[in-house]
Copies of this chain bind each other. A is one copy, B any other.
Amino acid sequence: MATTNHTQAAQVPDGDDDERRQKGMTIGVVCKGLAQEFPDISISKIRYLEDQKLLNPRRTAGGYRLYSPSDMVRLRTILRLQRDEFLPLRVIRQELASGRATDGDGKVATESSHAVASKRKRRASVSVTDGGAMYALEDVLEETRADPSLVRELEDYGVIKGELRAGKHYYDETEREIIGAVTELARYGVGGRNLRVFRSSADREAALLQQILAPALRSRNPERRKEALEALENLAAVATHLKHLLLIRDLRKIAK
């Protein structure tokens, strides 16, 4: 940790940067890179976080951990939630699982440590209005560590559809996250065929919400339409929250 490097790239020839992006960084490199912002990071701590199911980096053939850029983002998020929001790991895990934990990123150099400002930043992926960003299949696979056959399955089921550009498949942000979530579920043993359950309930709800907001949505008055879109988004958020609560309620019966 003692090394005083501002830019961690400085030590490394430019050529390696590409290589690192592809291959990922080893745990020691990751650790040194984070030592700037998080002085009490350590290799063993990073391994511990993995042990606690907060990370899941790729491995080399020999078993070495390889951290991708998105692993880094996730790791940084974890450390920030821990340091700034005082969240226990168990809660951070949940926050990440529920997609709630997009943090403010930033090359913000010296954020005076304990500024606990809750910044409500809405994720693009949970917004009805599409951001428009697209991601290549290979990037998505790398980032989510998804099984390619699972992606095909999702396409077959019509859950996602992607887009074909120049012979490559591209997915929007929501689709990317769907793939991530499904991959996560698969790790717990929820197979592709079970997704029908989720899909059909989403369809039913969408129909319900549409029905309620249909008049406003069809309005030619742009102001009114915008309001309707906002309402739609809020409704979606509340509906999701309610569904979660009902699920919890059911699970509690099961669990006891």
Contacts and interface: CB of A to CB of B under 8 A. Distances in A.
A41 interface: no
A9 interface: no
A133 interface: no
A204 B231 CA distance: 27
A1 interface: no
A102 interface: no
A29 interface: no
Contacts of A184: 238
Given A123-B91, A190-B212, A209-B251, A182 B242 contact: yes
Contacts of A203: 250
A244 B126 contact: yes
Contact of A178 (B117, B229, B237, B249): B249
A117 B237 contact: yes
Interface in A237-256: 237-255
Interface in A201-256: 201-206, 208-210, 212, 217, 229-255
Nearest to A93: B234
14 contacts: A85-B86, A97-B241, A117-B234, A129-B255, A174-B245, A174-B248, A178-B245, A178-B246, A178-B249, A189-B212, A205-B247, A205-B250, A209-B254, A232-B254
| Among A175, A194, A198: residue with most chain B CB under 10 A | A198
Contacts of A252: 128-130, 174
A87 B116 CA distance: 11
Contacts of A230: 90
Interface string A153-168: 0000001100000000
Nearest to A231: B188
B246 A199 contact: yes
A52 to B, nearest CB: 10
A205 to B, nearest CB: 6
A99 interface: yes
Contact of A239 (B85, B86, B247): B247
Given A178-B245, A212-B189, A217-B254, A237 B206 contact: no
A115 interface: no
A197 interface: yes
